[in-house]
Homo-oligomer: A and B are copies of this chain.
Amino acid sequence: MLISMNVNATEEQMRAVCTRIEELGFRPHPLTGTSRYVIGITGNKDLSAADQLSQMPGVAEVIAVTKPYKLVSRDMKPEDTVVRFAGSDATVGGAELAIMAGPCSVESRDQIFRVAEAVGKGGARFLRGGAFKPRTSPYAFQGMGEKGLEIMAAAREAFGLLVVTEAIDQESLALVEQYADMIQIGARNMQNFALLKQAGRTRKPVLLKRGMSATLEELLMAAEYIMSEGNYNVVLCERGIRTFASHTRNTLDVGIIPAAKKLTHLPILVDPSHAAGERDKVVPLALAGVAAGADGLIVEVHCDPDRALSDGAQSLYPDQFAAMVGQVRGIGEVLGRTLPQPGHPQPTGAGVSK
């Protein structure tokens, strides 16, 4: 923590700040010889208390130097985290790119089985699909609930895919933990701290989506909530941020990928579907994310998107998805990442946990 004083701050004001720093149990380190006083603060306690000093006479600015996150930090763990799944050789964060695909919502057994087969053939090793849907309107389709989870688990058995699905509250999280291989926390819940802590007490990997206006630091702190409860298998996911630009639904912030990799050892995926909002723009955003260094993709695919109960306009057709995976493989090779050819023998029965 550093205190920068105003150019015309008096010596008396500077001494008052130093005295206050000592009262708070810290040590002040005045830095002289500059055009303005700067005071460094050190100590063993939480330095954020020093933030209060910002309102003292003569203080221009309080500057945080120490970062508030610990477990997520690359300072703490320099090597990349590789997330593994019981009963499968799939990983997230290793050399292999992780491809997760499926519909926005679980609508029926038939729908899920058709799309699971298609995305598995197309190159996905993870099946996505929501049984609990956070919808902006209380009058919109809210998901099939536990019945949807049962369908997803059945598709896992049938097609050898890992299941990733969203939990939106305490009850659904308990169910998702039972049925799924990976628990998704959606963008709107990125700072639902009660949910994060509950996810931290499970033993399933967590896919944590960035909130629509979350800073990188806030995203890392949300991951810290999960890790501080003992669950170290957290995967971040960029899904677009809210800006003034309306040519896509959200603005995919590919810059967060190298920025996150510098600060944290956790893997990061890209969700091009929610950023794009329209099918035409999904593939370019997906390829951009991989090129920027993402560890994989989570993408919406539907066999009959014009009849989807949600997000149809941004769902890829299965053949578009398969073609995209081919391009992702090509780009991955340029960057030293691997992606197995689809149709390679998949391990079946990938960790049925119920």
Contacts and interface: CB of A to CB of B under 8 A. Distances in A.
B42 A306 contact: no
A35 B169 CA distance: 36
A75 B6 contact: yes
A243 interface: yes
Contacts of A228: 138-139
Interface in A38-52: 38, 40-42, 46, 48, 51-52
Contacts of A2: 2, 38, 63, 65
Max count, chain B CB within 10 A of own CB: residue among A52, A289, A291, A307: A291
A251 B293 CA distance: 16
Interface residue tally on A, bucketed by range: 35 or more
A136 B228 CA distance: 13
- Overall SS of chain A's interface: mixed
Interface stretch (A101-109, A201-209, A274-282, A341-349): A274-282
B52 A305 contact: yes
Contact of A327 (B55, B252, B335): B335
A287 interface: yes
A135 interface: yes
A140 interface: yes
A248 B243 contact: no
Max count, chain B CB within 10 A of own CB: residue among A6, A27, A244, A312: A244
Given A255-B285, A287-B292, A63 B66 contact: no
A215 interface: yes
How many copies of this chain?
4
A54 interface: yes
A147 interface: no
Contacts of A340: none
A213 interface: yes
Interface in A195-226: 195, 197, 211-213, 215-216, 218, 221, 224-225
Contacts of A256: 245, 247-248
Interface stretch (A90-98, A117-125, A176-184, A257-265): A257-265
A193 B245 contact: no
Given A213-B212, A221-B136, A31 B40 contact: yes
B29 A221 contact: no
A245 B253 contact: yes
A288 interface: yes
Contacts of A112: none
A238 B65 CA distance: 31
Given A245-B241, A330-B333, A306 B251 contact: no
Given A33-B42, A188-B191, 18 more contacts: A52-B308, A134-B191, A136-B221, A138-B193, A168-B193, A169-B194, A215-B245, A241-B251, A248-B255, A248-B259, A252-B253, A252-B254, A255-B275, A255-B284, A258-B280, A259-B281, A262-B280, A330-B334
